[in-house]
Amino acid sequence: MSRVAAALVAVGLALTALTLTPVKHAMAGQEYSYCPPAGNLVTSKTVWHHHRLAPGVSLSAATLRPGPHRLRINVVRANLARRRVAVSPLHTRLTHRHRLSELAKQPHLVAATNGMYFNFSFGSPTVPLIGARGPLVLSAEHERIAGIGQDGRARDGRAWLVGSAVSSEGVRERLVAINEIEPPSGLSLYTSAWGRHPVPRPPFSRALVVRHGRAIPHTRRHHRVPAHGVLLVANGLGALSWMDSLRGHSTIDLNYRAKSNTHHPFRQAYGVGTKVVASPNHVRSGLYCNRNEIYAARTDFAWAHHGTQLILATVASPKSGERAGVDENQMSEIMVDLGAERSYALDGGGSTDLVARVGNHPLATRSPLPKGKERPIPVGVGVFSLPKSMLPHHGKHRKHHKSGHSKHKCVLGVVLCHG
């Protein structure tokens, strides 16, 4: 080989190495690579329009022009230190999808965004959801979540399911999941929160309907949660052996709760994606992008002021569809400029949506939508401004009387549910 040929081969190898370097940690199929470096999207020249939605809740909107596509950014800030400000997951049944504008039609709601990642076929979230009365979607695996703790501050952590089913025969079986889209090996629980959609049972699994604490015989082939009761799904030898140990109408005692690695338990929590901001004033770099949709509409769940200010932000292109937006490096730069101390991605793309009630105007969509239509989603994140009569312990000096208040409080927000 001549020196010239050898030099050309060396240059070619070097270029190949440079080309492959960004995807050295890529997933199978080379679908992911490093995002391009983030530029300064939010500058001192960015013109913001501010709206006061309620005491302690504001909406800010601006138009960014980072390239060929105009971007619309909407930011809701909620002061969690104010007693009249409440945050709550918005949903009906987990497998029932609705437009955000429909989920948000609740008294005292002033703003809402779309929520978590979900399965298109079943409609149910594929990540954890913890609500007012405990876990709604959760497994025994330690999973990343972000939400609001019992101290009223936004925070992140990891959560997992702790629970068991004990029969009248005295045999205990560990619960490994509740309302999970893919039942893992072990005993899984499906509650009325799942809805009427058939449960995706694995091959060779067995089901058991439990109604009013008693096992209902001959229900091993059931695929739906009963109207009054729960459905247990046994997958694997241990769980199947436990079901075999049951006799007739055995009583089943179900106990479960969410456990986390945080000092304060979560009042509510959402499964999240990429940690876009890990620390204040630090823009992350080297985040991965799907090469088919590097730029996309984004929704982020973030907080500032040591967790006392919740930030919900959406970035989308007014005319260019769900695949025109920002990459995760750029979203990190935006969230840092907004003052976020920690920020996580919620579901994005065609799911990105934000609605707000400005002044005396009715609730309206503020975020640009692909083809002008809202994508139905299972869960949203709602921000409420509550009247004094709905605050916890308000009027406790008065005599108790029958009313619909306590039920209404739990419908509105986990912050207000007390037993």
Tell me the per-residue pLDDT of 48-88, one tens digit each, with 9 for 90 and over. Answer: 999 999 999 999 999 987 666 788 999 999 999 999 999 99
pLDDT at 308 over 80: yes
Q: Which residue has the higher pLDDT, 293 or 262?
A: 262
SS3 117: coil
The identity of residue 172, as a single letter, is R
> 229: exposed, middle or buried (C-beta count within 10 Å: 0-12, 13-18, 19+)?
middle
pLDDT tens sequence across 256-273: 999 999 999 999 999 999
pTM of the model: 0.84
CB 144 within 8 A of CB 156: yes
pLDDT at 176 over 70: yes
CB 121 within 8 A of CB 380: no
CA distances to 47, 69, 255, 290, 397 from 295, in Å: 23, 10, 44, 9, 56
Question: What local confidence, expressed as pLDDT, does residue 77 receive?
Answer: 99
- What is the residue whose two structure tokens read 């306590």? 406
CB 139 within 8 A of CB 180: yes
Torsion-angle region of 192 (φ positive above 0: left; ψ -120 to 50: alpha; else: beta) = alpha
Percent of the chain with pLDDT over 70: 80
pLDDT tens sequence across 101-136: 999 999 999 999 999 999 999 899 999 999 988 999
Q: For Cα atoms 389, 134, 193, give the angle at the middle one, nearest 5 degrees.
A: 95
Q: For Cα atoms 247, 248, 253, give the angle at the middle one, nearest 5 degrees.
A: 75
Relative to beta strand 57-64, strand 48-54 is antiparallel
Which of these ranges, 91-95, 170-174, 295-299, has the smallest mean pLDDT? 295-299
pLDDT at 229 over 80: yes
Give the count of alpha carbons within 13 A of 176, CB side only: 16
Which of these ranges, 71-85, 126-140, 170-184, 286-300, has the smallest mean pLDDT? 286-300
Give the count of alpha carbons within 13 A of 305, CB side only: 11
Question: What local confidence, expressed as pLDDT, does residue 292 receive?
Answer: 61
Sorting pLDDT into bands at 50, 70 and 90, what band is 399?
very low
| Calpha distance 126→119 (Å, rounded) | 6
Q: What are 334's two structure tokens?
A: 């935006």
Q: Which residue has the higher pLDDT, 370 or 139?
A: 139
Q: Which residues are registered as beta bridge partners of 289? A: 33
Q: What are 367's two structure tokens?
A: 């975020």
What's the start-to-end Cα distance of the chain, in Å? 81
Per-domain residue ranges for the chain?
48-99+108-116+272-378, 161-260
The H or E element containing residue 88 is: strand 85-90
Nearest Cα neighbor of 155 from 346, 344, 381, 386 is 344
